Amino acid sequence: MLEVKQVSKLYENQRGVRSIDFSMSRGEIVGFLGPNGAGKTTTMRMITGYLNPTKGSILIDGLSMADHPRKARRKIGYLPETPPLYPELTISAYLKFVANLRDVPVRDQKQRVGEVIEKLGLQGREKQVIRSLSKGYKQRVGLAQAILHKPDLLIMDEPTSGLDPKQIIEIRQLIRDLGENHTVLLSTHILPEVNAICNRVLIINQGQIVLDEHPDQIGGAMGESFEVRLEVKGPKDDIVRELSGLPVIGSVKELERDQSMSESESVLLQVVSKDRSDIREALFYKMAERGYPILEMKKESLSLEDIFLKLTTDEKKVEQPDEEPEVEADA
């Protein structure tokens, strides 16, 4: 659906993005993460055809954005961070205006506007002027304008930014629903949002992609070892010695108990594998052999927050090949 091939965009100040390379298949909902200034908006504006890359190419459903900008753009719906709304228009007048702009055939416009109004839960507010809407409802109108021309690919820049918690839940649900019929790329600063909505995560730092993974698999992809939290009933010293003696175990450490845990005869441990293999069965058989009952065993994984911080606060500078800068030229 989307191919971003070795795309760079350098501004006069040498900032921007360098050699971005990724593709998206139909039906994916991809979360695009990065600290401030990492290059998310620059990348999204290139994908949507609002900004020309300095190098590289972008294909939308096989169509080159550089060679067929009009046709390629027709396949894209874009919700910028600040939706392009006209505050003095009513919702229905604004959506009709967008339908014209997006070349929706005149005979289909009324029906299509009705459909998106229903899909975005805007019924009953058609005649309300946009200025008088809450931020959450303005965002719904922003989403409505993005999907009006039935695009295959939806690009959203921080779609829940500035909304209250209830509005965030509603907009996330709408994005999940839209994901059933669209391929979605959304940027966000809110990491739990990625776990809540996306089936893939891209992390960008200093203009380069540093991670491209399924949210559940990023620990493994980063070469993290397998870690288990284990509570066992029995003598601590013997349990630690037996576990440490297993060839698959890298380290065993006693954990502090929180107040609520009252089991005094048990020991709470953090057990880490030597390599990345799953150590749970080995732990089970060893404790069973020694007759020490396991009261709790839980696989611990790095949170997206841990991974994000690890990848984006790394001391070492990202390698920056020499490239000619180019003055920004909006399409």
Ligand X SMILES: Nc1ncnc2c1ncn2[C@@H]1O[C@H](COP(=O)(O)OP(=O)(O)OP(=O)(O)O)[C@@H](O)[C@H]1O
Residues in touch with ligand X (CB under 6 A)? 11, 13, 15-16, 34, 36-42, 328
In whole angstroms, how close is the CB of 307 to ligand X at the nearest point?
Answer: 18
Shorter beta-carbon distance to ligand X: residue 41 or 139: 41
Q: Which residues pair with 251 in a beta bridge?
A: 272
CB of 41 to ligand X, least distance (A): 3
109 φ, ψ (degrees, to nearest 5): -60, -45
Q: How far is the CB of 38 from ligand X (least distance, A)?
A: 4
Q: To which residue do tokens 């790394």 refer?
A: 314
Tokens describing residue 87: 């505050």
Nearer to ligand X, 37 or 245 (CB): 37
| Secondary structure of residue 283 in the 3-state scheme | helix
Shortest spacing between CB 173 and ligand X, in angstroms: 24
Shortest distance (Å) from residue 161 CB to ligand X: 9
Burial of 130 from C-beta contacts in 10 A (0-12 / 13-18 / 19+): buried
Q: Which residues contact 315 (CB under 8 A, 6 or more apart)?
A: none
Quote the least distance from Cβ 46 to ligand X, whole Å: 10
Q: Closest CB to ligand X among 15 and 274?
A: 15
- Residue whose CB is less far from ligand X, 126 or 328: 328
Cα–Cα distances in angstroms (integers) from residue 312 to residues 163, 195, 205, in the given order: 26, 18, 6
Alpha carbons 159 and 174: distance in angstroms, whole number: 11
Q: Which is nearer to ligand X, 40 or 125 (CB)?
A: 40
Q: Nearer to ligand X by C-beta: 17 or 269?
A: 17
Measured from the CB atom, the residue of 16 and 77 that comes closer to ligand X is: 16
DSSP category for residue 303: -
For 327, left (φ over 0), alpha (ψ -120 to 50), or beta? beta
Nearer Cβ to ligand X (83/219): 83
Beta carbon nearer to ligand X, 206 or 273: 206
- Please answer whether residues 222 and 212 qualify as being in contact, where contact means their C-beta atoms are separated by less than 8 angstroms: no
Question: In the bound complex, what is the minimum distance in angstroms from residue 287's beta carbon to ligand X?
Answer: 48
Which residue carries 């501004």 as its tokens? 11
Q: Least distance to ligand X from the beta carbon of 205, Å?
A: 9
- What is the rounded distance in angstroms from the CA atom of residue 249 to the CA atom of residue 198? 33
Q: Locate 61 and state its tokens.
A: 């459903």
Phi, psi of 271 (to 5 degrees): -115, 125
Integer CA distances (angstroms), 167 to 129, 138, 173, 254, in order:
19, 11, 10, 43
C-alpha to C-alpha distance for 131 and 89, rounded to whole angstroms: 8
CB of 168 vs ligand X, minimal distance in Å? 18
